[in-house]
Structure 1
């Protein structure tokens, strides 16, 4: 009997996945290979088979639960523009550089007129047309 040289390990194609963890499909392939290649005189014990099938079922349920949780988490996260829209009509305080040499820092306040987003950055707009990045807001208060 001659061994086919294409079956040598160095001649096998590399898999595209670099993921080192086993998934449910990998587990099922291993289980099927084990069943197909078992010794007919000493077949897999029933307890082992049931145990492996239980593990497979648990793995599948955990995978489904993980996918559901990821979908839920994604649905709960709001885009920043919607998240900051609650600032409209509120008074914000933000730092500004002092006059003259620019070494002193003071604070200004203004009522938020709108929220805008550009190139992934969110800012609020004041009635004067000034835009303030949300990261610079130091205080938010209700307009009295």
Structure 2
């Protein structure tokens, strides 16, 4: 009686799969590891020249500073969006005068001044937009006047 050999027992199925680790992008830690390995494995009879070493350390320092500055700048931008959103939300409930472009049947563009109250503040791709009681959505650049009762501020 002949029995078939299971495919799981073949040598090809026992071979290890190729491992992938990390990413293909070298960062500041990778640069420092390469530099340390280079220093450890250099020939003692002809060490790396001072110029090369200083150049590599300057490159590393510049890389580290750019990385730190980039992350700090990202945090700053995020905080600015938050501050802008909070600042713009103070217009909710206030009456605004704004410019609205309309086009007549002949294709002529006409700019007219309208007034409405702000119902909500929206954020669209980093720009504040205002939803008005009359149904229009405008940007802050369209607003020419903000009024709240007797207090008025012209833009």
TM-score, length-scaled by structure 1: 0.56
User: What is the distance in 2 between the residues matched to 1:60 and 1:54?
Assistant: 10
User: What is the distance in 2 between the residues matched to 1:115 and 1:25?
Assistant: 46
Whether the aligned pair in 2 keeps the contact of 1:114 and 1:124 (CA below 8 Å) is yes
Whether the aligned pair in 2 keeps the contact of 1:92 and 1:137 (CA below 8 Å) is no
Structure 2: tracts of 5 or more residues without a match: 1-17
Bigger relative contact order, structure 1 or 2, given CA contacts below 8 A and separation 6+? 1
TM-score, length-scaled by structure 2: 0.53
1:1-144 pair list within 5 angstroms: 16-17=23-24, 19=25, 22-45=26-49, 48-49=52-53, 52-53=56-57, 55-78=59-82, 82-88=86-92, 89-95=94-100, 97=102, 101=105, 105=110, 107-117=112-122, 122-126=129-133, 130-135=134-139, 138-143=142-147
Structure 1: tracts of 5 or more residues without a match: 1-10
Question: Do the aligned partners of residues 90 and 136 (structure 1) sit closer, same or farther apart at CA in structure 2, a change above 3 Å counting?
Answer: same
Q: Which has the higher strand share?
A: 2
Larger gyration radius, structure 1 or structure 2? 2
